[in-house]
Structure 1
Amino acid sequence: MTQVAQPSRSGVTDLYFDFLCPYAWRGLELADVLRREHGMRFRLRHFSLVQGNHAENPDRKHPTWWLDRQVAGQGSDYQAGSLNAFLAGQAALQQDEDAAWAFTLALFRAKHQPAEGVPAIDLRNDGQIRLLAEATLDADAFGRALEDQEGLRAALHEDLQDSATLGVFGTPTFHLPDGNIAYFRFANLVTEPGAALDLWTLYTRVLTDGARIETVKRAK
C-alpha cells in the first residue's frame, strides 16, 4: 500500500527493516548495491514486526506495547531475538556508514543465508553477534556502545515511533525523499548493479505514477 507522508531527510531514502524478515534482507541487499554502485543514499531504520503485530497494538500508529521497553531476553524467541538484534544494530550505527552496513548485512546473511552446513544465527545469542561484530566493526567500540543500553533503547524508540507515525506495517519499507513511502516485497535476491537499478526504477515509477497504484499482489 502506498501513502504520501512527510519527506524523509533531504536526498536520503529511509529504509525500515526487521532482522526477522527475509524480504527485508533482500531489500537491504538491493539498497546496498544501489548505494555502492549508483551513489544513492539510504538510512538504516528499524521497524518491529513483533510490535506491529502485537495483540495490544490494534492500531499500529498508536502503539501501547513497545519493543524497546521490554526486558532483554524475555518474551517469545521472536521478541527476545529481534530486540537483541535491534540494539546491536543501533550500536553498529555509531560507527562509520560502511561498517554499519557491513555489520547489518552480515547479521541478515547469518540469519537468512547461512553458509552450507551452518545453522542460522540465533539472534538471542550475544556471542554469535559479537563474532560478526569482530569481522565487520571496531569490536572494542561496539562493546562500549552496547554498554549504553539506555541510549540504544532511546535510539530504537525513535525509529519505532517514526515508523508508527508513518504507518509502516511490513518490511522492507522505503521512505523516499519526496515523501512517498511503501512496503516493497520481492521474491528474488538482486545483486547485479544493472538489475538492481532497473528494479528500483520500476518501484519508484509505480510510486510516482499519477494512477496512484496502491496494491499489486500475485494470486496464489
Structure 2
Amino acid sequence: MPIQDGRQTSSTTTDAAANGSSRSRKSGAIHAQLSGISVSTTRVGVLVEAIEFDLFYDYTCPFVYRAAEMLEVVKESGERELHVTWKFFSLAQVNANDPEWTAWGAPDSETVRGRLAFRAAEAARRQDAFESLHMPLLLARHRDREDIDDPGVIKRLAGAAGLDGDRFGADLADRRTLEALARDHSEARAKHGVFGTPTFVFPNGAAAYVRLAGVPSKEDALRIFDRLVDIARGEQSILEIKRPVAPV
C-alpha cells in the first residue's frame, strides 16, 4: 500500500473516493445543464456557480471601492467562481464640459483626475501583474486617503506590489498605456450606454450601475452579491431602483 508523509493510506479507499467525487461532479454538471445554471465543479463534491461579467470602473469612485471589497469577500468565500473583466471608465471624461476634450488625449502637463491610476494599472498589466496593483490602488485612495494622482504614491504602491520598478516607470511614462482607457471608455459609452461607475455588464447584455451604501460585512457580502446579480442580470424589466432620503 502507498505511504505518504509517514502515514499509511488505502489506494482502494482513495480510488473509491475519487470515483465518488467524479460521479458527484458529473451529476452536478448534468443537473446544472438541465436547469440552465453555469457551474464549476473544480471543488470536490461541491457545486460552485461561475459568474462572469465586465465591470466598468474609475479608481477615484468610492462606489467602485465598495463593490470591489464585496467581490473580494465573495471570491474568498469559495462559494462563487467569479470571472471579472475590469474595464476603464473615466469619470473626468464623462463630466467634461468640452465635447472635444478627452482624458486620454489631454497632454501629460494637464492633471486629469484618476488618469495616472489607469496608466499604472495598464503598466502593471504589461508585467502580468494587474491584480497585484488593482486593489492596492483602490485601498490607497479610499481607505488610506492617499493621492493616486501623485507619481510618487503610484511608484511606491507598485514597488510594494512586487513590480519591476524600472520597467514600471518606463511603462507608466508611455502614453500608449492610454489606448486601453480610450478603448474601454468608448466601448462603455457606445455599446452599453454607461454613464457612471461601477457598472456591471453581463454576457446576456444586461447592465447595471450599482451604488452600495457601504462596504458589506463578510457575513452579508455573498447574500448582497447574489441578490444584485439576480436583479441586474435576470430582471431586465427593472430599469431603476432609487431610494429617497428623508431630509434631516
Give TM-score scaled by structure 1 length.
0.78
Tell me, which stretches of 5 or more residues in structure 1 are unaligned? Answer: 1-10, 58-63, 115-119
Cα distance change, pair 137–54 in 1 and its aligned pair in 2 (3 A): same
1:174 to 184, 195, 200: 200
Equivalent in the alignment of 1:82:
114
Check the 8 A contact 1:100/1:137 in 2, yes or no: no
Calculate percent identity across the aligned residue pairs: 30
Bigger relative CO (Cα 8 Å, ≥ 6 apart): 1
How far residue 190 of structure 1 moved from its aligned partner, in angstroms, is: 2.3
Indicate conservation of the 8 Å contact 2:56/2:88, yes or no. yes
After superposition, what is the alpha-carbon deviation per residue over 1:36-80, rounded to whole angstroms, capped at 9, x for unaligned? 4332110111111111111234xxxxxx432100112415xxx2x
Q: Quote the RMSD (CA, aligned, Å).
A: 2.2
User: Cα distance 1:187–1:148, how it changes in 2: closer, same or farther (>3 A)?
Assistant: same
In the aligned structure 2, how far is the partner of 1:168 from the partner of 1:21? Answer: 15
Aligned partner letter, 2:74? L
Which one of 14, 27, 31 corresponds to residue 54 of structure 2? 14
Equivalent residues in 2 for 1:20-39, closer than 5 Å: 20-36=60-76, 37=78, 38-39=80-81
In the other structure, the counterpart of 1:6 is none
Greater C-alpha Rg: 2
Q: 1:33 to 1:46 in 2, by over 3 A?
A: same
Q: What's 2:215 paired with?
A: 189
Matches within 5 A, 1:109-120: 109-114=139-144, 120=145
Instruction: Check if 1:54 corresponds to 2:86.
Output: no
For structure 2, which runs of at least 5 residues remain unmatched after alignment?
A: 1-50
Q: CA deviation at 1:103?
A: 1.2
Please give the per-residue CA displacement for 1:131-178, whole angstroms capped at 9, x wherever unaligned. Answer: 00011132334234224322x011221111111112111111111122
May I ask how many residue pairs the two structures share in their alignment?
192
Alpha carbons 1:35, 1:41 under 8 Å: kept: no
**Contact 2:204–2:233 (CA under 8 A) maintained in structure 1:** no
